[in-house]
Chains A and B, each alone.
Chain A
């Protein structure tokens, strides 16, 4: 069974400061990894995904994440945050089906990023 741990439930940060949101996963097989963002009262929007290849993945809105297989981590980073980045961020993992497709997603409990002036 897979699991995802997001170690920080809340991360306060000042605008224009860098931020890192941590994600660790547990799985006995190869996986795909995702970060989603959720704004208040809305659904989830994909920020970025790691499928294979380069371990540094760039996504939308200036976010990037690095896959570290030995540490089973997929931390999300942004060098300079904006007020508009205030939202809930979810890390997710999926098995890889024999067709190369992601199976269902298993999510972490989320990290609330609060950006202030």
Chain B
């Protein structure tokens, strides 16, 4: 396994601009998760997919956020009209599922977003 891959690793953007992050899960992992982590805090759940279906979204995922996984493989997380409060690390994770094989969730290195 090559691991969960995220791109870009770092992004600095001006307030009001749109940004998009990409996540490539481990091959054959049909579950994909997005989390957000701010400094000094634990990761907070945003949303998750099983194959191409988005099964759950957190209340943290405002209407400026949208996530897609069009072919059940890679996923994108787009933030429109960024605000300074969006500055955080966005973590992607994947797992095999359903079933007990899905009980190990593997995380990527994260994408850091700084909104100036």
Contacts and interface: CB of A to CB of B under 8 A. Distances in A.
A90 B43 CA distance: 9
Contacts of A100: 98-100, 103
A56 interface: no
A57 interface: no
Contacts of B106: 46
A46 B42 CA distance: 14
**Interface majority SS (helix, strand, loop, mixed), chain A:** strand
Interface residues of B, number: 28
A51 B107 contact: no
B65 interface: no
B109 A101 contact: no
Interface residues on A, range: 20 to 34
Nearest to A90: B42
Contacts of B91: 43-44
B105 A46 contact: yes
A114 interface: no
Interface of A: 4, 32, 34, 36, 41-46, 49, 51, 90, 92, 97, 99-102, 104-110
Closest 4 CB pairs of A and B: A107-B42, A99-B98, A101-B102, A43-B107
Given A92-B42, A102-B95, 11 more contacts: A4-B42, A43-B108, A46-B104, A49-B104, A101-B97, A101-B98, A101-B99, A101-B100, A102-B102, A102-B103, A105-B35
